[in-house]
A and B are shown apart, each in its own frame.
Chain A
């Protein structure tokens, strides 16, 4: 079963509105989570590193005021796309490391966002 759960899996929203995507670690605590976006037929691009109890670290070119990240607990990080535009339509995926390095970076199921 999934060890990192994302919700919603698909969402359609109108331009100008905001949408929140949740990423939960199941049965383990994650002080760090990562948010990626992926356009069709393109690679995953890291957007930001979510840190529990502190501000997220954004990659160059990612607008922090547009993509709000809140890591309020050790099992939950949220990504809010504010004032969404059609170009924000994408596949958003979170990941969380479990335990030590190696085969322990788990991905959520991903969230398809369509802005109309």
Chain B
């Protein structure tokens, strides 16, 4: 299978910056997504990377290195509402363009 690894839990302080890493198997890679999921709710889209580099969108940025099979999600100016699980998901060629394989998610706790 395609293993997608990300840390299980992280804690950060309100107003700070946090980086959530994700590594994945590179064979057949076709794009990487980051989703935010609050407890008991469906995931909401944050970012999509298919080319190397940094994509910035407000307080959130996502980085991709295809050769290293590595991505990170950067959250700046953390707010209490950012406490959630962050899911890294990858699409692989041959599995259907929209079929997502999810990591286990990183539970982020933002503390005052």
Interface residues of A (CB under 8 A from B): 6, 32, 34, 41-46, 49, 91, 93, 95, 97, 101-103, 105-110, 112
State the CA gap A45–B102 with chains docked (Å): 7
A-B contact pairs, 16 of them (CB 8 A): A34-B99, A34-B100, A41-B107, A43-B87, A43-B105, A44-B87, A44-B100, A46-B99, A93-B42, A95-B98, A103-B47, A105-B33, A107-B42, A107-B44, A110-B40, A110-B41
CB-CB under 8 A from B48, the residues of chain A are 102-103
Chain B's closest residue to A2 (CB) is: B42
Beta-carbon contact of B43 and A102 below 8 Å: no
Given contacts A43-B104, A43-B105, are A102 and B98 in contact (CB under 8 A)?
A: no
B91 at the interface (CB under 8 A from A): yes
Size of B's binding interface in residues, CB under 8 A: 25
Q: Do most interface residues of chain A lie in helix, strand or loop, or is the interface mixed?
A: strand
CB-CB under 8 A from A95, the residues of chain B are 98, 100
